[in-house]
Amino acid sequence: MANNERVAVVTGSAQGLGKGIAEKLGENGFKVVLSDINEEVLNETLEELKGKGYDVIAKVADVSKKADHEALIEAAVDAFGHIDAYINNAGVEGAVEQFENITEEDMDFVLDVNVKGVFYGIQAAATQLKKQGHGGTIINASSIAGHEGFDFLSTYSASKFAVRGLTQVASKEFAKDNITVNAYCPGIAATGMWDRLDEKFMEVIGTKKGEALEQYASSISLGRTQEPKDVANLVAFLASEDAGYITGQAILTDGGIVYR
């Protein structure tokens, strides 16, 4: 199937890594359904990508709600006739806090978005792909923190380890339907999420502005923080037919921080 006939849904795609992924897929000829909980920024991104000539639509969604994933699928099918790739990119960093100070609310918030959000997305996408009968791919956002736990990021690490588990289980269950399920594991990117993390580290361990990012970035073998395109290139490959024999994997794209 030519890329100009392929359709991808990308959650959390109004900004940051998700926007980079959506833009790369559009560049590669995919029709793209943008989605985010932030309607204002989502609409700005929609107009920006339309201006580049990409075939895109946008729909507001809260990924912690199963019905919102189903509505995304419905919007994609109504607009483009089918889906081929569903990218569960949306996520939150959660609390930066001493382990013993994490609250029930802290844990629930991160698990609702990062774990339930992926779980429901896999369910909705697999249901549609099975109905279509020609296979497809589901791609989930994990993290370097899904391969190694990072101090003061207990809820985030827990959620990203869970994404790896969901990815493996789903890949086994849906292989018979020719549906591949993989995860991408970004490292350190100078995005809005890391701006927020930096501020939280300042409060918890007393670092100065920018210091936490600098400390983490100093461990990157390739000597620079990643850009959205670094992640987008991997996701675009996983969404392509060239990756049809890859499933159940959680692939690191971190410039060389975590080695497995």
**Catalytically annotated residues:** 156
Own/partner pairs for 42-45, CB < 8 Å, 24+ apart? 42/13, 42/14, 44/14, 45/13, 45/14, 45/15, 45/19
Phi and psi at residue 167, in whole multiples of 5°? -60, -45
Distance CA(52)–CA(50), nearest Å, equals: 5
Radius of gyration from C-alpha coordinates of the chain: 18
Binding residues: 36, 62-63, 89, 156, 160, 186-191
Distance from the Cα of residue 255 to its chain's centroid:
18
DSSP state of 245: T
Q: CB atoms < 10 A from the CB of 60, how many? A: 16
Binding residues for NAD(+): 36, 62-63, 89, 156, 160, 186-191
Distance CA(256)–CA(128), nearest Å, equals: 36
User: Which uninterrupted H or E stretch holds 13?
Assistant: none
Distance CA(237)–CA(246), nearest Å, equals: 10
SS3 state of residue 51: helix
Note whether 182 and 164 are within 8 A (CB).
no
Angle at 218 between CA 215 and CA 219, to 5 degrees: 105
CA-closest candidate to residue 78, choices 31, 140, 12: 31
Q: Which structure tokens are listed for 89?
A: 């990119």
